[in-house]
Amino acid sequence: MGKKKKDEPCPPLALWLVTFSDLMTLLLTFFVLLLTMASMDNAILTTVTLTTADLGLLEKRGSGRVNVKERMIIDLMEKPWEVLEKKQRIKDLLFPDDELPEEIEKAQLDENLEVLAKQDGVALVFTDKILFIEGSAELSTKGQFLIGRLVPMMTETTAPINVAGYTDAAEGAQNPYELSGDRALSVLSFMVGKGVPNKRFSLSAYGNDVPVMNEFGKPVPSAMNRRVEILLKTARPIGGYQ
């Protein structure tokens, strides 16, 4: 009876080829996946990005048409706790130097605009000097330009907006509550006229009861006392906005 022929072990070269073929299969699968993703509709990718990003204030999610600068402003306005560090950044995004009209100097804007962190959001505070015709509640040309610059950002949010007016004792010729209310109403009406839904607004008139205070808790005799405060309530309560 003849000897049984032993199975010869697979030569080392063949083992290497098996491993290499497995690697090539994986690479081919990877490239097919990349090709499939590259052929996807860009609009779908944009929708996914905007929906999963932390942009809870966007009304038009998935439209793919939200201006990048507006998204940056909204992101900053949603984080009141960062305002102390980012207030100049907010000013620069809202009012770029190259887009300011000749009658508004950057230094004048910085002096008459304050960005404040509030418990329920971020407030933009303008003095009467830069918003209104002197001694009146009528928006000046400067005021219309400045408030108009806020509209694109505000129309991309659903956050409630409070517009509050303030005066000081120096404007004693008129009823302080009436004057502060008229100024706040002028700002509110202008934004509504530009397309911001009026149901999002509330209005407050404080007269000269709430002056700007210094670090020692004393009133400051400043033009900032004659001001309009636009509060975007971006600090959302649990469950979102009502």
Give residue 238's pLDDT: 46
Token pair recorded at residue 62:
């998935």
At 187 the pLDDT is: 97
pLDDT at res. 172: 64
Q: Residue 165 has what pLDDT? A: 95
* Predicted confidence pLDDT, tens digits, the chain (242 residues): 555 555 555 555 555 566 667 777 878 887 777 777 665 544 433 333 333 333 334 343 334 455 777 778 777 777 777 777 888 888 888 899 888 999 999 999 999 999 988 888 899 999 999 999 988 899 999 999 999 999 988 888 889 999 999 998 777 667 889 999 999 999 999 999 999 999 999 999 999 888 876 656 666 767 778 999 999 998 765 444 44
Per DSSP, helices labelled H in 62-208 are 68-77, 83-94, 106-112, 128-131, 141-155, 176-193
What pLDDT shows up at residue 184? 96
Domain layout of the chain by residue ranges: 63-232
Please provide the CATH number assigned to the domain covering 63-232: 3.30.1330.60
CB-based contact 170:233 (threshold 8 Å): no
Sheet holding 227-232, edge to edge: 113-118, 121-127, 227-232, 161-166, 201-205
Query: In this predicted structure, what is the pLDDT of residue 192?
Result: 96
